[in-house]
Amino acid sequence: MRQRFTARAVVVGDRAGTVVPDAVVDVRDGVIEWVGPSGEAPERADADVVAVPGVLTPGLVNAHSHAPMVLFRGQGEGLPLDRWLSEVMWPREARLTPEDVEVAMTAASAEMLGNGITTSVEMYFHPERIAAAVGVTGARAVIATPLLPLPGMPPMDEQLRTAVALATGAPDDGGVEYGLGPHAAYTVPLPVLRDAAEAAREHGLLLHLHVAETATEGDDLLAAHGLSVPSLLAAHDILGGRVLAAHCVHMDDGDLDLWREYDVAVAHCPASNAKLASGVIRLRDMLDRGIRVGLGTDGPASNDSLDLLADQRLAAGMARLRERSATALTAAEAFWLATGAAADAIGRPDLGVLEAGRRADLVHVDTRDLVFEPVGDLADLLAHLVWSADGRHVRDVWVGGAQVVRDGVSTRVDADALRSDVAARAARLATG
């Protein structure tokens, strides 16, 4: 099957911020075949033509999410992370059923697709139900099965065996990929973290964990071991391979150097870090060191949005404030953090950039809106995408060439029915 997409412009999703005007994207069997100006496009007499009036971008890649937490959106408002988890989130999560997770993930996945997010890294309970949900909506997911010593959960070694078996037994079709998600060094025993890291390296799996999210989370570990959390992870052979660390807010120069040495990628979650007052990441320092960074929403209970277009604006603004420089993060880099850089951070070179050989995950952003004017040159389109646009401007989305959002509405699920179902389940979980 061949498709030819034509658009006012294509934003490629690379670090340089390449924008191609009057553009064509050719797709064959769900994979991009050619991208460039329409005047240079090859003959494709057998292609179905899809003409969009706005801009085509890559599908956004959400590098860190707990999307089924739409069930808890807005709960625990005003609490710091430790109290938010222990007093609000974990008691509710203890009452979750597998069906709760699947319904919530289906709703959240449809929401993310509607905002142009075609792939998300999920760390949440009942991973197979998360996979079932994205199978229904048509999205992609990298699902890091959580490892966490909570009441009612199996022993940690059993959790790890189950997670590895799930990850190594799944088909490699590009739709769902399983990884390992030990929550953090302050919650998961170091021997379990070490075993998880060894298994991830052995099987080429993504190892995803939270690191240095708050200023105090590593205090007990520092007192016990005399090392920062990054140094502790390195000392216990937990780094190396496909490691993706979420947040990484409180990192000194030595920590950043370790991240560079071990090629640890970072999932940067500016909205969550701001809402929970966790702090401001050293984003410019990370990028200048060559550390891979991708943008994440975090969970919809700590953001409370699943809108990566809005979050890239926050990422750029916070970086500029931190450095007190309007050049601390360019518009091109901000958009790249949600596309090509995020794909690189999660180890998925088949996603994130509109170029031949990558999967045809495409987003049509409707530019027939005042926020996209004026356009004096091509760079203005990219600036408007970062500083003015958000999810409401996404009109159509394709994943592997298949349309999953048409005119702002999911082609696969009834979002209104899901919304009512989520509300009823959330009310039950809140009251026990």
Asked if pLDDT for residue 90 goes beyond 90, the answer is no
Cα 125 to Cα 99: distance, rounded to the nearest angstrom: 11
Query: What's the confidence (pLDDT) of residue 322?
Result: 98
Query: What's the confidence (pLDDT) of residue 408?
Result: 97
Q: β-strand 242-247 against 206-211: which pairing, if any?
A: parallel
Asked if pLDDT for residue 431 goes beyond 90, the answer is no
Tens digits of per-residue pLDDT, 112-150? 999 999 999 999 999 999 999 999 999 999 999 999 998
Cα 350 to Cα 356: distance, rounded to the nearest angstrom: 10
Cα 176 to Cα 64: distance, rounded to the nearest angstrom: 15
Tens digits of per-residue pLDDT, 184-202? 999 999 999 999 999 999 9
Asked if pLDDT for residue 366 goes beyond 90, the answer is yes
Query: What's the confidence (pLDDT) of residue 398?
Result: 99
In sign, the C-alpha dihedral spanning 49, 50, 56, 60 is: negative
DSSP string, 151-214: TTSPPHHHHHHHHHHHHHHS--SSSEEEEEEE-BTTTS-HHHHHHHHHHHHHHT-EEEEEES-S
Q: How confident is the model at residue 80 (pLDDT cuts 50, 70, 90)?
A: confident
Tens digits of per-residue pLDDT, 261-274? 999 999 999 999 99
Q: Residues 6 or more apart from 253 whose CB is under 8 A from it?
A: none
In the beta sheet, which residues pair with residue 294? 267
DSSP string, 380-395: HHHHHHHHT--GGGEE
- Average pLDDT of the chain, as a whole number: 96
Which residue ranges form the domains of the chain, and what is each CATH number? 2-58+352-400 (2.30.40.10), 60-346 (3.20.20.140)
Query: What's the confidence (pLDDT) of residue 208?
Result: 98
Q: Please give the model's pTM, rounded to 2 decimal places.
A: 0.97
Cα 295 to Cα 303: distance, rounded to the nearest angstrom: 13
Structure tokens given for 326: 């309007």
Query: What's the confidence (pLDDT) of residue 172?
Result: 84
Query: What's the confidence (pLDDT) of residue 82?
Result: 86
In the beta sheet, which residues pair with residue 25? 5, 35
Query: What's the confidence (pLDDT) of residue 81?
Result: 82
- Closest by CA to 338, choosing from 328, 351, 319, is 351
Q: Contacts from 255-259 at CB under 8 Å and sequence distance 24+?
A: 255/212, 255/228, 255/229, 255/230, 255/231, 256/282, 256/285, 256/286, 256/289, 256/291, 257/289, 258/230, 258/231, 258/234, 259/230, 259/286, 259/289, 259/291
Query: What's the confidence (pLDDT) of residue 315?
Result: 98
Q: How confident is the model at residue 171 (pLDDT cuts 50, 70, 90)?
A: confident
Cα 241 to Cα 206: distance, rounded to the nearest angstrom: 8
Cα 295 to Cα 313: distance, rounded to the nearest angstrom: 11
Q: How confident is the model at residue 413 (pLDDT cuts 50, 70, 90)?
A: very high
